[in-house]
Amino acid sequence: MSEFWATLRLAACTGCGGHMPRTSRSSKPGWLQHTITRGVGRRPIFESVGDYLYFERLMKRTFEAEDRGAQLVCYTLMPNHLHEIVGGDQEGISNAMKSQLQPYVQWFNKRRGRDGPLFSQRYSSWAVDAGAGFVRTLRYIDQNATKGGLVKYPQEYAWGSAQAYLNGTLPSWIDSSLVRLHLKRDLAAGATLAQAYQSRICQPMSSTEFAELELRIQKACLGHSISSGALEYNSPDKLQWYEERAQLADGFQILAQRLITPGQLDAILQSVAHGGALADLAARPLPYIGNWLALARLALLQDICAVGLCELAALTEVAASTMTRRLRRHRTMLEENASYQQFFAQLLTQLERATAWE
């Protein structure tokens, strides 16, 4: 049983999440799409410099091809996901994504002796208008690495197009024509592309603006949870098979049995809420949810009580879509809030001691 708690702690430290269900795609010629591809369960998809370099080779091969049917405007490769703005018609964009993602998974798995899915089934995409919306999206993609704390400035991040635009080292497989169109006044006045990009595009986004755009993106993605958000798109059997294949590929044991009942869990959590070292953290407020302990309880009901999404929604008297958002909030906080991550890890330790399972 100790392996079970170790697995949960690993999930608390590395984040969890997963599936992006199918979204509608425009077939309009010349359409711009912002695409996001995430690792299944938010697992890392780039684990070494070689991984990043190989994916850039795939981008080069894809967007330099004479029959490519799509153009790459910008990109950022993050450790567990990647962003691109791609122009073209529906077929061209779909083929371009396939020619990047499929060979990368094969290469990634072969290098690691791994056999299982790497990406969350299918990339997500939505239309970007060629006006102000394009500039906002470009800024958002460029500043992913800075908001994620990987670098201080976009030009410092080696695995994104911002560095190439700003250093004057733009490769031939990136189409800068739309960016140049937005910067035409500066360019006509004698500025270089790098200078114009720095002054017009690299304006820092406020935290509010960044969060608002992220919220729109999350709504467009319609939720990413393998175990919850995708239920309306796939059968439970298919989702269980997909999740198990992904986890087994990374060496995780699948634990589907109910380990304690919801009542037993609540009795243990009550002692945490009313005393002990975690009481202050447990009481930290969260809008619409209550506090940190209430959010952690939802995740634990799934993880150790084997409560499904519909049952969990009924138990807490909220809609399934609301429950999906709350579970996603837990995963996001595990990834982005070090204090919450520590709180959840310590909570797991207390649960292990209270249940005294070996």
CATH number of the domain within which 192 lies: 3.30.70.1290
What tens digit of pLDDT does each residue of 131-145 get? Answer: 778 888 999 999 999
Of 284, 303, 302, 304, which Cα lies nearest the Cα of 294?
284
Q: Report pLDDT digits (tens) over 283-304.
A: 888 887 888 888 888 888 877 7
User: Same structural domain for residues 271 and 160?
Assistant: no
Could you tell me if 42 and 179 lie in one domain? yes
Q: Are residues 27 and 48 in the same domain?
A: yes
- Residues 23 and 96 occupy one common structural domain: yes
Q: How confident is the model at residue 11 (pLDDT cuts 50, 70, 90)?
A: very low
- Name the residue range of residue 108's domain: 18-221
Q: Is residue 80 domain-shared with residue 128, that is, in the same domain?
A: yes
Q: Are residues 136 and 258 in the same domain?
A: no
Same domain, 7 and 40: no
Are residues 208 and 253 located together in one domain of the fold? Answer: no
Higher pLDDT, 344 or 302: 344
The two beta strands, 70-78 and 81-88, are antiparallel
Q: Are residues 8 and 44 in the same domain?
A: no
Structural domain includes residue 144: yes
Per-position DSSP letters for 24-41, written without gaps between them:
-----TTEEEEEEEEBGG
Residue 243 located in a structural domain: no
Same domain as 185, residue 39: yes
- Domain shared by 150 and 76, yes or no: yes
Written as six digits, the tokens of 314 are: 């009924």
Does residue 32 carry a pLDDT above 60? yes
Residues 206 and 253 in one domain: no
Count up the domains in the chain and report the number.
2
Going from the C-alpha of 220 to that of each of 131, 223, 224, the distances in angstroms are 19, 8, 11
Mean pLDDT of the chain: 77
Q: With cut-offs at 50, 70 and 90, classify the pLDDT of residue 245.
A: low
Token look-up 């392996």 returns 3
